[in-house]
Structure 1
Amino acid sequence: MTAADGRLDTPDGPVAEPVAGAGAPAEPAPVEPAAVEPAAVESAPAAPAAGGVEPAPKAVVPAPSGVESATSGARAERVRPATSVGAPAHRGAASKPFNDITHRVLKPPVRQVLNHLVMNVVHEGWENVPHGEPLIFAGNHSSWMDGPLVVIEAPRTVRCLVKSEMYKGILGRLLLFVGQIPINRGRPDRDALHTALDELSRGGAIGVFPEGTRGSGEMAAVQHGIAYLAVHGRCRVLPVACINTGAALPRGAKWPRRSVKVRVVFGKPFEVEVPANPRSRRALAAVAEDIRVRLADHLATVRAGESRDSSAAE
Structure 2
Amino acid sequence: MTTADQAPGAGAGTEPAAEPSTAPAGPVAERPAAESAAAEPAALTQRLAAESTVTVVEPAPAALPVAAGGGAKAPVAAARQPAHRGAESTPYNDILHRVLKPPVRWWLNHVVMRITLDGVERVPRGEPLIFAGNHSSWLDGPLVVIESPRTVRCLTKVEMYKGIVGWLLRLVGQIPIDRGKADRVALHTALDELARGNAIGVFPEGTRGSGEMAAVQHGIAYLAVHGRCRVLPVACLGTGDALPKGARWPRRSARVRVVFGEPFAVEIPANPRSRKALAAVAEDIRVRLADHLTTARATTTD
| Whole-Å separation in 2 of the counterparts to 1:243 and 1:132 | 27
Paired residue for 1:103, among 97, 103, 125? Answer: 97
| Whole-Å separation in 2 of the counterparts to 1:86 and 1:273 | 23
Superimposed CA distance per residue, residues 231-283 of structure 1 (whole angstroms, 9 cap, x where no aligned partner): 00110000000001001111112221111110000001000111111111000
Task: Say if 2:217 is the partner of 1:223.
Answer: yes
| Whole-Å separation in 2 of the counterparts to 1:49 and 1:230 | 52
Task: Say if 2:163 is the partner of 1:164.
Answer: no
- What percent of counterpart residues are identical? 75
Q: CA deviation at 1:109?
A: 0.8
Q: CA deviation at 1:91?
A: 2.8
Code of the aligned partner of 2:237: I
Code of the aligned partner of 1:166: M
Task: Say if 2:189 is the partner of 1:211.
Answer: no
Partner in structure 1 of residue 191 of structure 2: 197
Partner in structure 1 of residue 148 of structure 2: 154
Partner in structure 1 of residue 114 of structure 2: 120
Partner in structure 2 of residue 284 of structure 1: 278
| Whole-Å separation in 2 of the counterparts to 1:166 and 1:281 | 29
Partner in structure 1 of residue 33 of structure 2: none
Moved more, 281-290 or 179-188: 179-188
Partner in structure 2 of residue 184 of structure 1: 178
Alpha carbons of 1:292 and 1:216: their partners in 2 closer, same or farther (altered >3 Å)?
Answer: same
Over the aligned positions, Cα root-mean-square deviation in angstroms equals 2.3
Task: Say if 2:288 is the partner of 1:297.
Answer: no
Given that 2:129 and 2:200 are in contact with CA atoms closer than 8 Å, whether structure 1 keeps it comes out as yes
Q: CA deviation at 1:200?
A: 0.5
Alpha carbons of 1:223 and 1:243: their partners in 2 closer, same or farther (altered >3 Å)?
Answer: same
Q: CA deviation at 1:88?
A: 3.5
Q: CA deviation at 1:187?
A: 1.2
| TM-score, normalised via structure 1 length | 0.71
Structure having greater relative contact order (Cα 8 Å, sep ≥ 6): 1
Alpha carbons of 1:92 and 1:254: their partners in 2 closer, same or farther (altered >3 Å)?
Answer: closer
| Whole-Å separation in 1 of the counterparts to 2:162 and 2:223 | 26
Given that 1:199 and 1:206 are in contact with CA atoms closer than 8 Å, whether structure 2 keeps it comes out as yes
| TM-score, normalised via structure 2 length | 0.73
Following superposition of structure 1 onto structure 2, how do residues 65-76 of structure 1 map, counting pairs within 5 Å? none
Q: CA deviation at 1:58?
A: 6.9
| Whole-Å separation in 2 of the counterparts to 1:216 and 1:298 | 16
Structure 2: which 5+ residue stretches go unaligned?
Answer: 6-67
Q: Which has the larger radius of gyration?
A: 2
Given that 1:93 and 1:199 are in contact with CA atoms closer than 8 Å, whether structure 2 keeps it comes out as no
Question: More helix per residue: 1 or 2?
Answer: 2
Partner in structure 1 of residue 137 of structure 2: 143
Q: CA deviation at 1:137?
A: 0.0
Given that 2:86 and 2:185 are in contact with CA atoms closer than 8 Å, whether structure 1 keeps it comes out as no
| Whole-Å separation in 1 of the counterparts to 2:194 and 2:265 | 15
| Whole-Å separation in 1 of the counterparts to 2:273 and 2:91 | 26
Superimposed CA distance per residue, residues 153-197 of structure 1 (whole angstroms, 9 cap, x where no aligned partner): 000000000011111111111110110000111111111111000
Alpha carbons of 1:115 and 1:260: their partners in 2 closer, same or farther (altered >3 Å)?
Answer: same
| Whole-Å separation in 1 of the counterparts to 2:80 and 2:259 | 30
Partner in structure 2 of residue 35 of structure 1: none
Code of the aligned partner of 1:201: A
Q: CA deviation at 1:86?
A: 9.6
Superimposed CA distance per residue, residues 67-114 of structure 1 (whole angstroms, 9 cap, x where no aligned partner): xxxxxxxxxxxxxxxxxx997421367110001100001111111111
The 3-state SS of whatever aligns with 1:123 is strand
Q: CA deviation at 1:215?
A: 0.6
| Whole-Å separation in 2 of the counterparts to 1:101 and 1:208 | 22
Alpha carbons of 1:92 and 1:48: their partners in 2 closer, same or farther (altered >3 Å)?
Answer: farther
Paired residue for 1:268, among 253, 262, 273? Answer: 262
| Whole-Å separation in 2 of the counterparts to 1:211 and 1:49 | 66
After TM superposition, the runs of 4+ consecutive aligned structure 1 residues lying more than 2 A away are: 47-51, 85-89
Alpha carbons of 1:280 and 1:253: their partners in 2 closer, same or farther (altered >3 Å)?
Answer: same
Superimposed CA distance per residue, residues 132-171 of structure 1 (whole angstroms, 9 cap, x where no aligned partner): 1000000000001000000000000000000111111111
